[in-house]
């Protein structure tokens, strides 16, 4: 008898302590979360959805890394909010008459975070590193013949052929950052990058957080914030809970189904802007019957983009039948396809195709490909096409893509700015990323010509012509441009959501 | 005793060698190429070849393995493809968070399992037994990610008592450490505790059926004394065994819980490494888990002798 009473009491005690232990002692929650605030300014805590793999801007390909590095590094030129290229480390530039030499005048008195002066040699070193070590951005220098320092504040880039998109190539994102040679040779750059940007690295706690402090000597003016701490919260519900409880003041990881409701109650501000990313699917033209444009057009008529967007993105995307979004100066309004199952069936008949089964490759790395594929499978069954969805992890997916081991796949392209980046590598016969094996001499000619045309209006015209053919041939079947969705506490001021997803906290401040 | 430990250590070394060979072979069989992942969708042959050569992946497999093994013996597990950081350091960095979560979670698990299991066993067939059984059944069945979200909604969003996620080192601020560890540790602890409860119950029941227990009861010893001195002692060895296995599992990291609570543990590190086909980090992590498993098992075996006088090495 005594035994059971004793154990029951203990069990009850255990249950109570496990249920609320720590409850009475929890401090520093529900507050501002700015415990480590710097004397000179407030600390912003920002929750990213993933942890950077490394902080070497030339070697990482992870978006999470660039979210941090955006605030640490500079490029020669950088895109403004409308994605037009503006001066950054370079104050001005000019091109020679024959368009084969670009001369950049560098900003004076810029220092790296370690106090070293920034000079033309750093630009040459950074670019040569990318080219000589064949790093993943080397393709951006494909037309570049030579980079040299004329004097301390002048850099000259020689190109093999006119390259009107050179500014976007060298300044489009922080993968083209100007790094410090010492930082690279010491091997510290992966965890302790030294840049010229508005914030400098303070602390990196693996798996937990990265803290940056303000660079008071920044050439663009000292930031208002004293420091920025990036934490890594991969579960959207938890990121939202962090934002609501005041543990963090900014996140790009909101549960999509809640975004609409969140904006309305005023405790959280949300920013939604169409991005420059686009999602598409493509059929393998090396495999019959997908070599027949009629079959590909049938697929383009057989899918309802609105419904796909709703299912895959909870409506947080804009349907598009080309790659470049409405917000861009390069947008071309061309949308020949409508959701028309009848038309799709006719086209398949015309092509003499019956009982078509498609091995459709998607990846759990990007869950929206899975949900979109499920919706498309349903829609295409209406026209007698069976979509066999094959879900793979990204490593296997990329392998199969490279080997051409698919009938069709869905994926997206992220962060392009110039039309050449949107169309060349994907649709030119020699394009490095033409995995669907599309080849049309007319498109090749137009893209080659557009890539060298220096007059913007002429360029636009050439791209428009190329795009019409690409869309008519259904080389890619374009689906939508996703929105950039971010949420922050109302105290955060001076922050803008950008279509290129660059996260810049230089101008941001936290009010009391 | 010393000879026993030495012999076990020798066996462990052989097992680890086997594990390293199997892991290395498996890596080659898993589809997916780390260099392709590192380059993402942008791909060209020259960049690919350059990166492959830099990572040493162009060497013949036996050479790769021999190099790996040689370095591993000196504690150098190679360099991560993804981060460019030494694997050994990357693993050690995550150890404190994993240790504290495993420790606190196991404590919670035992605080749940031992009393519940005891009640269940001593009152077998009565209402409290059923309540305890149902509780442990629920604990096992509830998916941990769901329980984690429920706990966050309750204790953060609704009550505002605890921070929703994150980790603070104990050495930095013990109170904050506690506030951050409660939710993940309870999530893991309830699941572990529910599993353990069943083992405690059956171990105690079995022990209660032993002849020496019947003798002790027949002698007229009070029930509490019989339970403490005879029943529990007999049940300790099987309980210890399962607890050891649970601990070793927790030390390997609890991926789902770590992901939800943004906990900087080994589970998440390993998960990311697998997704990126980061061979060196994967190999290192598996080797370390195997070593931890062996070590915990050895300690458990040694504890047997301390607990049960019938066992001698």
Domain ranges for chain A? 26-54+62-70+186-273+486-510, 77-183, 278-483
Of A486, A480, A491, A489, the residue nearest A503 (C-alpha): A486
Measured CA to CA, the distance from residue B236 to residue B118 in angstroms comes to: 12
HSE on the CB side for A360, CA within 13 Å? 24
8 Å CB contact between A255 and A240: yes
Cβ-nearest to B260 among A11, A238, A433? A238
Write the burial class of residue B276 (CB in 10 Å: 0-12 exposed, 13-18 middle, 19+ buried).
buried
Residue B108 distance to chain A (closest CA, Å)? 7
pLDDT above 70 coverage of chain B, percent: 99
Q: Check B162 against A247: CB less than 8 A apart.
A: no
Residue B294 has pLDDT above 80, yes or no: yes
Averaged over B155-179, what is the pLDDT? Answer: 90
Which chain B residue is nearest to residue A399, measuring alpha carbons?
B32
3-state helix, strand, coil in chain B (%, to 5): 75, 0, 25
Residue that wins the pLDDT comparison between B55 and A303: A303
Confidence of residue B41 (pLDDT cuts 50, 70, 90): low
Q: In the structure encoding, which two tokens stand for residue B265, read together?
A: 């543990």
Q: B82-100: b or e for each residue (b if 16 or more CB lie within 10 Å)?
A: bbbbbbbebbebbeebbeb
Flag if A14 and B162 touch (Cβ within 8 Å): no
**B277 pLDDT above the threshold of 90:** no
Is a pLDDT exceeding 90 seen at residue A422? yes
Q: Would you list the domain boundaries of chain B?
A: 88-210+238-295
CB A90 within 8 A of CB A107: yes
Q: Which residue has the higher pLDDT, A76 or B235?
A: A76
- Please tell me which of the candidates A8, A15, A53 has its beta carbon nearest to residue B82: A53
Work out the burial of residue B301: count CB atoms within 10 Å of its CB; fewer than 13 is exposed, 13-18 middle, 19 or more buried. middle
**Nearest chain A Cα to B45, which residue?**
A432
Global pTM value? 0.83
> Residues 210..239 of B with a Cβ closer than 8 Å to A: which?
222-224, 227
Question: Among the listed ranges A34-38, A56-60, B138-142, which one has the minimum average pLDDT value?
Answer: A34-38
Give yes or no for B272 touching A (CB within 8 A): yes
- Whether the per-residue pLDDT at A347 is higher than 50: the answer is yes
CATH class of the A26-54+62-70+186-273+486-510 domain in this structure: alpha beta
Query: Per the CB < 8 Å rule, is B272 touching A51?
Result: yes
Q: How far apart are CA A123 and CA A100, in angstroms?
A: 19
Q: ω before A289 within 30° of 0 (cis)?
A: yes
- CB contact at 8 A, A50 and A38: no
Residue A9 has pLDDT above 80, yes or no: no
Residues A296-320 pLDDT 10s: 999 999 999 999 999 889 989 999 9
Average of per-residue pLDDT across A426-453: 94
Query: Which residues from B are below 8 Å from A22, CB to CB?
Result: 161-162, 178-179, 181-182
Q: Give the tens place of pLDDT for each residue, B85-96.
A: 899 999 999 988
Q: What percent of chain A has pLDDT over 70?
A: 92
In this prediction, residues A338-360 reach a mean pLDDT of 95
pLDDT of B75 strictly over 60: yes
Nearest chain B residue to A47 by CA distance is B262
Q: What is the pLDDT of residues A210-245, one digit of tens each?
A: 999 999 999 999 999 999 999 999 899 999 999 998
What does the pLDDT average to over A240-256? 93
Specify the residue for token string 């930095």. Answer: B172
Q: What is the pLDDT of residue A2?
A: 36
CB proximity under 8 Å: B 25-54 to A: 31-34, 36-44, 46-47, 50-51
Tell me the pLDDT of chain A averaged across its residues: 89
Q: Which residues of A touch B50 (CB under 8 A)?
A: 133-134
pLDDT value of residue A111 = 96
Least confident of A163-172, B44-53, B171-180: B44-53
Q: Within an 8 Å CB–CB cutoff, is residue B118 touching chain A?
A: yes
Contacts of A4 in chain B (CB under 8 A): 119, 122-123, 128
The pLDDT-based confidence of B151 (bands split at 50, 70, 90) is: very high
Tokens (6 digits) for A69: 């590095």
Q: Is 3.10.105.10 the CATH classification of the domain at A278-483? A: yes
Report whether pLDDT(B36) > 80.
Answer: no
Structure confidence at residue B311 (pLDDT): 76
The count of CB pairs under 8 A between chains A and B is 213
Sheet holding A90-95, edge to edge: A90-95, A101-106, A154-159, A144-151
For the cut 50, the answer to whether the pLDDT of residue A22 exceeds it is no
Q: Which CATH number fits domain A77-183: 1.10.3720.10, 3.90.76.10, 3.30.56.10, 3.30.450.20?
A: 3.90.76.10
**Arithmetic mean of pLDDT, A339-362:** 95
- Answer yes or no: is pLDDT of A449 > 60: yes
Q: Give residue-wise pLDDT tens across range A492-507.
A: 999 999 999 999 999 9
Least confidently predicted of A89-93, A258-262, A321-325, A389-393: A258-262
Q: What is the pLDDT of residue A262?
A: 85
Reported as a pLDDT band with limits 50, 70 and 90, residue A34 is: very low
Residues A76-106 have pLDDT tens digits of 999 998 889 999 999 999 999 999 999 999 9
- ipTM over 0.90 threshold: no
Q: How confident is the model at residue B42 (pLDDT cuts 50, 70, 90)?
A: low
Q: Is the pLDDT of residue A35 over 70?
A: no
Pick one of 3.30.1320.10, 3.40.50.720, 1.10.3720.10, 3.10.129.10 as the CATH number of B88-210+238-295. 1.10.3720.10
What are the tens digits of pLDDT across the range A178-214? 999 999 999 899 999 999 999 999 999 989 999 999 9
Between β-strands A356-363 and A317-319, what pairing exists: parallel, antiparallel or unpaired? Answer: unpaired
Q: How confident is the model at residue A475 (pLDDT cuts 50, 70, 90)?
A: very high
Contacts of A1 in chain B (CB under 8 A): 223
For a pLDDT cut of 90, what percent of chain A falls above it? 78
Comparing A299-308, A370-379, B50-59, B148-157, the range with the smallest average pLDDT is B50-59
pLDDT band at A25 (very low <50, low <70, confident <90, very high): very low
Contact at CB, A2 and B111, closer than 8 angstroms: no
Cβ <8 Å between A190 and B160: no
Tell me how far apart the terminal alpha carbons of chain A are, to the nearest angstrom. Answer: 61
Q: Residue A18: what pLDDT?
A: 34
Judged by CB atoms closer than 8 Å, whether chains meet at A14 and B186 is answered as: no
Tell me, what's the pLDDT at A472? 97
């Amino acid at each position: 008898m005594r035994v059971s009473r004793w154990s029951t009491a203990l069990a009850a005690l255990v249950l109570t302590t496990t249920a609320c232990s720590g409850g009475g002692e929890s401090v520093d929650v529900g507050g501002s979360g700015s415990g480590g605030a710097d004397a000179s300014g407030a600390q912003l805590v920002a929750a990213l959805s993933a942890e950077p793999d490394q902080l070497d801007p030339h070697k990482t390909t992870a978006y999470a890394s660039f979210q941090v590095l955006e605030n640490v590094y500079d490029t020669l030129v950088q895109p403004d909010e409308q994605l037009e290229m503006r001066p950054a480390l370079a104050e001005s530039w000019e091109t020679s008459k024959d368009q084969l030499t670009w001369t950049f005048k560098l900003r004076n008195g810029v220092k790296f975070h370690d106090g070293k002066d920034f000079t033309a040699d750093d630009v040459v070193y950074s670019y040569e590193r990318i080219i000589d070590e064949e790093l993943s951005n080397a393709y951006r220098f494909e037309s570049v013949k030579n980079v040299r320092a004329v004097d301390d504040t002048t850099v000259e880039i020689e190109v093999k052929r006119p390259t009107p998109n050179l500014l976007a190539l060298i300044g489009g994102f922080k993968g083209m950052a100007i790094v410090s040679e010492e930082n690279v040779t010491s091997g510290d750059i992966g965890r302790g990058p030294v840049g010229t940007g508005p914030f400098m690295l303070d602390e990196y706690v693996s798996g937990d957080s990265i803290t940056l402090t303000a660079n008071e000597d920044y050439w663009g003016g000292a930031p208002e914030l004293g420091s920025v701490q990036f934490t890594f919260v991969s579960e959207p519900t938890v990121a939202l809970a962090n934002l609501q409880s005041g543990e963090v003041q900014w996140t790009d990881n909101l549960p999509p189904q809640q975004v609409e409701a969140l904006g309305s109650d005023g405790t959280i501000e949300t920013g939604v802007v169409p991005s420059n990313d686009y999602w598409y699917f493509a059929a393998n033209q090396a495999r019959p019957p997908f070599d027949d444009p009629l079959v590909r057009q049938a697929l383009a008529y057989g899918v309802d983009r609105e419904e796909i967007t709703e299912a895959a993105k909870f409506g947080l995307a804009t349907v598009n039948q080309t790659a470049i979004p409405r917000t861009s100066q390069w947008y071309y309004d061309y949308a020949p396809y409508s959701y028309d199952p009848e038309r799709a069936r006719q086209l398949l008949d015309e092509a003499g195709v019956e009982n078509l089964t498609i091995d459709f490759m998607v990846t759990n790395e990007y869950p929206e490909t899975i949900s979109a594929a499920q919706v498309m499978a349903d829609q295409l069954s209406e026209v007698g096409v069976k979509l066999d969805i094959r879900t793979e992890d990204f490593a296997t997916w990329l392998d199969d893509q490279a080997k051409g081991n698919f009938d069709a796949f869905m994926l997206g392209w992220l962060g392009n700015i110039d039309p050449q980046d949107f169309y060349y590598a994907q649709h030119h016969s020699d394009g490095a990323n033409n995995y669907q094996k599309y080849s049309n001499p007319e498109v090749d000619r137009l893209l080659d010509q557009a890539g060298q045309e220096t007059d913007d209006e002429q360029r636009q015209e050439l791209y428009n012509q190329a795009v019409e053919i690409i869309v008519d041939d259904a080389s890619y079947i374009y689906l939508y441009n996703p929105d950039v969705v971010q949420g922050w506490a109302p105290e955060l001021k001076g922050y803008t959501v950008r279509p290129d997803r660059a996260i810049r906290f230089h101008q941001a401040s936290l009010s009391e | 005793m010393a000879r026993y430990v030495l012999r076990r250590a020798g066996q462990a070394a052989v097992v680890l060698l086997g594990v390293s060979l199997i892991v290395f072979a498996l890596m080659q069989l898993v589809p997916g190429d780390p260099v392709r992942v590192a380059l993402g969708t942008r791909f060209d042959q020259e960049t690919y070849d350059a990166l492959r050569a830099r990572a040493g992946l162009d060497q013949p497999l036996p050479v790769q393995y021999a190099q790996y093994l040689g370095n591993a013996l000196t504690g150098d597990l190679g360099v991560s493809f993804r981060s460019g950081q030494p694997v050994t350091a990357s693993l050690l960095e995550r150890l404190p968070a994993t240790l504290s979560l495993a420790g606190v979670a196991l404590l919670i698990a035992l605080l749940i399992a031992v009393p519940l299991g005891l009640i269940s066993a001593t009152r077998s067939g009565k209402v409290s037994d059923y309540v305890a059984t149902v509780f442990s059944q629920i604990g096992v069945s509830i998916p941990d990610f769901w329980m984690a979200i429920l706990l966050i909604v309750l204790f953060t969003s609704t009550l505002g008592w605890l921070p929703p996620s994150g980790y603070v080192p104990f050495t930095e601020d013990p109170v904050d450490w506690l506030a951050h560890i409660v939710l993940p540790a309870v999530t893991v602890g309830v699941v572990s505790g529910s599993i353990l409860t069943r083992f405690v119950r059956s171990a105690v029941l079995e022990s209660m059926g032993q002849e020496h227990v019947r003798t002790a009861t027949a002698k007229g010893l009070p029930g509490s004394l019989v339970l403490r001195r005879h029943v529990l002692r007999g049940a300790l060895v099987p309980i210890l065994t399962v607890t050891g296995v649970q601990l070793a599992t927790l030390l390997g990291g609890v991926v789902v819980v770590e992901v939800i609570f943004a906990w900087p543990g080994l589970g998440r590190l390993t998960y990311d490494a697998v997704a990126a086909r980061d061979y060196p980090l994967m190999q290192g992590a598996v080797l370390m888990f195997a070593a931890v498993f062996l070590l915990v098992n050895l300690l458990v075996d040694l504890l047997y002798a301390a607990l049960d006088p019938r066992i001698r090495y």
